[in-house]
Amino acid sequence: MSPVITIKDVAREAGCGIATVSRVLNKSGAASAETRERVLDAATRLGFSFNELGRSLQSQRTRTIGCLVPSLVNPVFAEAVQDLQKEALGAGFQVLLACSNYDPALEADALRMLLAKRVDGIVLTLSSSAGNPALEHLRGQGLPLCMLYNSPVEGVPSAYVDNRRAAAQVAAEFARLGHRRVAFLALRFGASDRSHERYEGFRDGCLAAGLEAPELIEVDEAIRFEDVKLAQRLKGPGALTGVFASNDYLALSVIGALHDLGLSVPGDVSVVGFDGIDMGLAIRPRLATVVTDAREMGRSAAQTLIGMIDAQGAATDQPQNSQKSPQKTPSPELPGMAFSFRRAESLGPARGGGTDDGQAATSPPS
Amino acid sequence: MSPVITIKDVAREAGCGIATVSRVLNKSGAASAETRERVLDAATRLGFSFNELGRSLQSQRTRTIGCLVPSLVNPVFAEAVQDLQKEALGAGFQVLLACSNYDPALEADALRMLLAKRVDGIVLTLSSSAGNPALEHLRGQGLPLCMLYNSPVEGVPSAYVDNRRAAAQVAAEFARLGHRRVAFLALRFGASDRSHERYEGFRDGCLAAGLEAPELIEVDEAIRFEDVKLAQRLKGPGALTGVFASNDYLALSVIGALHDLGLSVPGDVSVVGFDGIDMGLAIRPRLATVVTDAREMGRSAAQTLIGMIDAQGAATDQPQNSQKSPQKTPSPELPGMAFSFRRAESLGPARGGGTDDGQAATSPPS
DNA sequence: GTGAAAGCGCTAACAG
DNA sequence: CTGTTAGCGCTTTCAC
C-alpha cells in the first residue's frame, strides 16, 4: 500500500544527497549538526527503514546466519535453535532456519538455498556428517560453518556431546543395578550418526561391564503401543530388564507403551533416555537420562560461528601483510560439551538383581 | 574461498550476454538449442547458482515468508512452524523465522527486521493482537498477513481455534463428572490473549453449568513443585477437584507436581490441558485435553498467506480494468479450526461426585 | 561537509 | 534469437 520509502525519498525530503542520508543514518562519516537533524527528521517523518536487500547486495554481508536442523518437534532442537537465535540476535545477526526432516535430499536443498540467500555462515545438524557431499560443498565455499550435535569433522568446529562416552556410561549404570539383558531402541537408526554413536558406545559399555551385547531394536516414528517385536522382548522368559532409548522423546513413549502392556517402570523394566528434555522431569516416574544442555549447545554454536564470521571479516578488512595468506582463519576447536547422567525413578534395579545406589554422576567437559 | 560465481562469469564462459544466461537458466524467453547448451554447460561447470539478493532486489519479490511465534519450546508452535515451512517450501517459498519469547518489544523488533528483509508476507502469533501497534504498522504496509493461533482481527485472516468455545466445553466436562470447585491455571496470563480467552470461556462455561466461577491461579515459567499457593488449594478442606491448565505443557507439569504432593490424578484431582500435544498420550495417566491440530494450523496459515501473496502478484500483473482499484485483495475469511475434547484418564469423576461417561466429543469446524 | 557516480547481481525492456 | 542498457536500494570512493 504505502509506496515503500527508499533512501532517495529521504534525501529529497531532507534536501540533500543520498550519500549524506546513508552517512547520517549509519553513523558512518561526519555531517553538520544541522544536516543530521534534517535527515533524521525526514527519516522518521517518512517512517523510513533500510531495505536490507540493497544493503546486503552492496556490502556483501547479510548479517544473517543460516541454521539447519532435522526437526523442530524434538525439543532438543527447538531449544537449541531458540537459544542459538537469542544469541545471534544479541550479536546483531538474524537467523534463517530450515528443517531437513532427516532427509538428506532436503538437507542439500536447504543448504543450497541458504547459500543463495548469501548467509554469512551456517550452523547445521546433519544426519550423517562424515564425507557428506553437501558439507564438502559448503567447505569449498569457504563459508564459516559450525556443526550442532554432530561429532566434529576434520576442520569444522561443532557443539556436541561425546555420544559414545555418554552411552557407555548408561551401560555402566545398567550394570551397576544388576541388569544383564538390555536393549537399545533406535528411532532412525539408518539416518542418524548420533543414534549410531550412541548404540556403539552403549554396546561397548555393555561388553566392558560384562553384559551381553544389547539388542538393537529399530522403531519408526512414534512407537506403536502394539509393537509386537518390542512387546515380545519385554515379557516372558529371558525378557529384557532394561531399555536405552536413543532419545528422551522415544523413551517417554516407551514408558507409556510399557504401561499399556501391563508392565511397571522400573519394577519390570527400566528405561533410560538421552537428551534431558524438561518433560522427563515432569512425568512420573521421572526419566533417567543423559542430560545435555541443548540451550548451551545452541548458544555455543552461535558464538563460535559468529566468531568465525567476525574473524573472516577482520581478515578481509586489514590485508595487513597478507601476501597470499591462505585466508583460512583456523576453525576454533570446540571441546565436547558437558553432560551428566540423571539417576531417576525410571531406572531401577533389575528384577532379581541390584547393587548399591547413589545420586548423580557428572562428567567434566571432556 | 572459491571466488563466488556470478551470472557474468557464466556469460563469459558461455560466450554470450548475461541476459541470455538469465533467460536460459530461468526458462524465460527463448534461446537456440546450441546457446542453451553452452550456457547450461558453463553454469554447471562453474557451479553457478543465482544470488538471491540481486534477484530479489530486482524483482521486488523474495519468495520468502516471515514467521513470528512466541516460542519454539512449546511443541504446539514447533509443530505448526514445521508444517508451515513444509507447506511453504512446497510452494516455492522460504521461511524466515523469528521468536518473540512472549515479549512485545521483541515482537516489534522481529517484525521490523522481517520487513527490512522484504519478506513477501508474514504469518504471526502475537501476545496480544487487538490494537497491537506493530500489527497496525504491518497492515499499513499492505503486506499480506495471516495470524496463527490468535483470534482473527478485523481484516486479517487467522488460523485459530475458538478458545472460548473450547474452554467452555472443558467446563462442561468437569460439570458432567460432578466437579464443583475447579481452577484455571495460567502461564503468562498477562501476556497472552489466548490464555485470557481460555479463562473467560472456561469461567462462562462453569457459570453456565452451575459451578462456581473458577479460581484463576497464575504461575510463571515451569510450575515449581513446591508452589505453595497451588498446594494449599489442592489439599485440605474445600480443596479443588479439578484443574484446567492453559496449555498441555503446563498440565503435564502439574500432574508431576501433584504426584509429588502425594495426590493422585485423577483420584484426588483431575487435570485437563489444552493443545493436544503428543506427549499427552505418551504418559500415564493420559492427559485429557482440547485437541487442536497444530500441523494443520501451520499448513492452513501458509496456504492462506501464499494465496494472498499470489493474488496480490496477479493483481499487479494484470491491472486489467483497474482504474484506481483499491488494490486491496480481500483477505480470505478463514473459519475457526476444528478441535475436539479428548476424554482421557487424567480427568475423572470428582471426589464424591460423578455422573455418566462417554468417549469423545468432537466439534465441527465451527 | 556533501553530492555525483560507480557498481553489488540480477531482470526486463528494447533494439538489432 | 540475442546483446545492450537501465535500473532495483544501497554503500562507498572521489572530487568539489
**pLDDT exceeds cutoff 70 at A216:** yes
The set of long-range contacts for B16-25, using a CB threshold of 8 Å and a minimum separation of 24, is B25/B50
As a whole number, mean pLDDT of residues A135-153 equals: 94
Q: In what order do the strands lie in the sheet with B360-362?
A: B215-218, B182-186, B242-245, B270-275, B288-292, B339-342, B360-362
Q: What is the pLDDT of residues B324-337, one digit of tens each?
A: 334 455 677 778 89
What is the CA A289 to chain-centroid distance, rounded?
18
Distances (CA, A) of B268 to A217, A253, B251, B259: 38, 25, 15, 10
Q: What is the pLDDT of residues A110-123, one digit of tens each?
A: 999 999 999 999 99
Angle at A118 between CA A115 and CA A119, to 5 degrees: 90
Confidence of residue B229 (pLDDT cuts 50, 70, 90): low
Q: Which residues of chain B make contact with A102, given a CB cutoff of 8 A? A: none
Q: Return all residues near B6 (Cβ < 8 A) that are at least 6 apart.
A: B48, B51
Q: What is the pLDDT of residues A80-111, one digit of tens each?
A: 999 999 999 999 999 999 999 999 999 999 99
Of B62, B82, B115, the CB nearest to A71: B82
Whether A53 sits inside 8 A of B73 (CB atoms) is: no
Nearest to A96 by CA among B66, B73, B84: B66
Residue B221: what pLDDT?
Answer: 65
As a whole number, mean pLDDT of residues B11-39 equals: 93
Whether A140 sits inside 8 A of B2 (CB atoms) is: yes
A266 cis-preceded (ω within 30 degrees of 0): yes
Is strand D within 7 Å of residue B62 (CB)? no
Residue A1: what pLDDT?
Answer: 65
| Window B:128-157, CB contacts with A under 8 Å | 140-142
Of A2, A51, A283, the CB nearest to B118: A51
Name the closest nucleotide to B29, judged by C1' and CA. D1
Whether A96 sits inside 8 A of B96 (CB atoms) is: yes
Helix axes of B163-176 and B193-208: crossing angle, nearest 10 degrees: 40
Is strand D within 7 Å of residue A360 (CB)? no
As a whole number, mean pLDDT of residues B21-36 equals: 93
Q: Return all residues near B136 (Cβ < 8 A) that are at least 6 apart.
A: none
| Window B:166-195, CB contacts with A under 8 Å | none
Residue A357: what pLDDT?
Answer: 42
Residue A365: what pLDDT?
Answer: 42
- pTM, entire model: 0.90
Residue type, A111: L
Residue B131: what pLDDT?
Answer: 87
Whether A85 sits inside 8 A of B94 (CB atoms) is: no
Q: Which three cell numbers stand for residue B93?
A: 517459498
Strand partners, A273: A289
DSSP per position, A114-160: HHHTT-SEEEE--S--TT-HHHHHHHHHT--EEEESSPPBTTB-EE-
Q: What percent of chain A has pLDDT over 70?
A: 89
Q: Which residue has the higher pLDDT, B3 or B342?
A: B342
Whether A71 sits inside 8 A of B85 (CB atoms) is: no
Residue B208: what pLDDT?
Answer: 96
**pLDDT exceeds cutoff 90 at A207:** yes
Name the closest nucleotide to B18, judged by C1' and CA. D3
Strand bridging mode B145-148 / A339-342: unpaired
Average model confidence (pLDDT) across chain B: 88
Instruction: Using only the alpha carbons of chain A, give its radius of gyration.
Output: 26
Is strand C within 7 Å of residue A57 (CB)? yes
Confidence of residue A359 (pLDDT cuts 50, 70, 90): very low
Confidence of residue A320 (pLDDT cuts 50, 70, 90): very low
Q: What is the pLDDT of residues B110-169, one digit of tens each?
A: 999 999 999 999 999 999 998 899 999 999 999 999 999 999 998 899 999 999 999 999
Nearest to B88 by CA among B334, B299, B333: B299
Q: Are A217 and A183 in contact (CB under 8 A)?
A: yes
B266 cis-preceded (ω within 30 degrees of 0): yes
Residue A130: what pLDDT?
Answer: 87
Instruction: State how far the Cα of B365 lies from the Cα of B303, in Å rounded to an integer.
Output: 17
Instruction: State how far the Cα of B279 lies from the Cα of B340, in Å rounded to an integer.
Output: 17
Residue A56: what pLDDT?
Answer: 97
Q: Are A102 and A74 in contact (CB under 8 A)?
A: no
**pLDDT exceeds cutoff 60 at A318:** no
Range of A258-272, A341-355, B197-211, B276-290 with top mean pLDDT: B197-211
Q: How many CB pairs under 8 A join A and B?
A: 136
Cell 534477484 -> residue: B55
Average model confidence (pLDDT) across chain A: 88
DSSP per position, B254-272: HHHHHHHTT--TTTT-EEE
**Sign of the CA dihedral with B356 first, then B362, B364, and B366 last:** positive
Measured to protein CB atoms, the chain D nucleotides within 7 Å are 1-5, 7-13
Strand bridging mode B145-148 / B360-362: unpaired
Strand bridging mode B339-342 / B288-292: antiparallel
**Which protein residue lies nearest to nucleotide C13, measured between its Cα and the C1' atom?**
B19
Q: Which residues of chain B make contact with A222, given a CB cutoff of 8 A? A: 278, 282
Q: What is the pLDDT of residues A252-284, one digit of tens each?
A: 988 888 887 888 899 999 999 999 998 898 888
Instruction: State how far the Cα of A148 lies from the Cα of A157, in Å rounded to an integer.
Output: 9
What is the CA A340 to chain-centroid distance, rounded?
18
Nearest to B87 by CA among B294, B298, B292, B293: B298
Q: What is the pLDDT of residues B51-89, one digit of tens each?
A: 999 999 999 999 999 999 999 999 999 999 999 999 999
Q: Which residues of chain B make contact with A185, given a CB cutoff of 8 A? A: none
**pLDDT exceeds cutoff 60 at B222:** no
Q: Are A346 and A265 in contact (CB under 8 A)?
A: yes
Neighbours of B177 (CB within 10 A): 21
As a whole number, mean pLDDT of residues A155-169 equals: 96
* Contact status of B5 with chain A (Cβ, < 8 Å): no
Residue B226: what pLDDT?
Answer: 52
Q: Are A260 and A152 in contact (CB under 8 A)?
A: no
Q: What percent of chain B has pLDDT over 90?
A: 70
Distances (CA, A) of B135 to A34, B138, B161, B248: 34, 5, 20, 28
Residue B284: what pLDDT?
Answer: 82
Distances (CA, A) of B323 to A230, B2, B255, B326, B327: 69, 51, 62, 9, 10
Instruction: State how far the Cα of A226 lies from the Cα of A220, in Å rounded to an integer.
Output: 13
State which residues between 37 and 66 of chain A bring their CB within 7 Å of strand D. 50-51, 53-55, 57-59
